[in-house]
Amino acid sequence: MSTKSIKSKNDFSTEEKIKNAARIVFHKKGFAATRTRDISEESGINLALLNYYFRSKENLFNIIMLESLQGFFQSMSSAFNDETSSLENKIEILVNNYIDLLIENPDIPIFILSELRTNPKELISKIDIKKVLLKSYFFKQFQSYVKAGKITPIHPMHIMMNLAGMIVFPFIMSPGLKEIGGIKQDEFNKLMLQRKAMIPKWIQAIIKVK
């Protein structure tokens, strides 16, 4: 009891230092390519401390991954499950939230997706994505718009893919864009800010295509 409280006084600093370093390195290189020594160097702490605080590389990774998943999907969940907003409004909010999030954390998508390829089951089990996506109010609303003849009847997954593709994909290909097109970071961000306004309009145009 007193152990815990005493521990946390100074632990917090070191534990957080390790986690922050782990987040940076894992996000940049993925699980397999990061060595525990990379994390210890990045954080400036002794290698043994990593195991002292987190027991194992894998355990530390799982913590970082869980936080990353939550951070990434909570925006989606809140935007998709708001029952007071229109479909158009949900999309605007989603696009806005995500582009802001991704400008701050551009490495999250490729991090999640490349780990997803290795162990999809374990990753998916960490978060209740069905609730976020398939059972979301967004999906129900989409179906009712279709029935009302407001939008073209297609599988709502197409819209999800288009939204995700238009929002997320640029960040995934950005290392390439910078290298190829000589696009600088601020130039890239400027394009992304343009997209905040444009993607909702594009989606509106798409769902009216016959």
As measured in angstroms, the least distance from the Cβ of 66 to DNA is: 17
Q: Interface with a second copy by CB under 8 A: which range of 41-49, 74-82, 94-102, 162-170? A: 162-170
Our CB check for a second copy shows the closer of 14 and 105 to be 105
By CB under 8 A, residue 24 contacts a second copy: no
Question: Which residue in 1, 10, 117, 149 binds a second copy (CB under 8 A)?
Answer: 117
Q: What is the pattern of x (binds DNA, CB under 7 A) and - over residues 112-141?
A: ------------------------------
Q: In b/e form, how buried is each residue of 161-182, taking b as 16+ CB within 10 angstroms?
A: eebeebbbebbbebeeeeeeee
As measured in angstroms, the least distance from the Cβ of 104 to a second copy is: 17
As measured in angstroms, the least distance from the Cβ of 47 to DNA is: 5
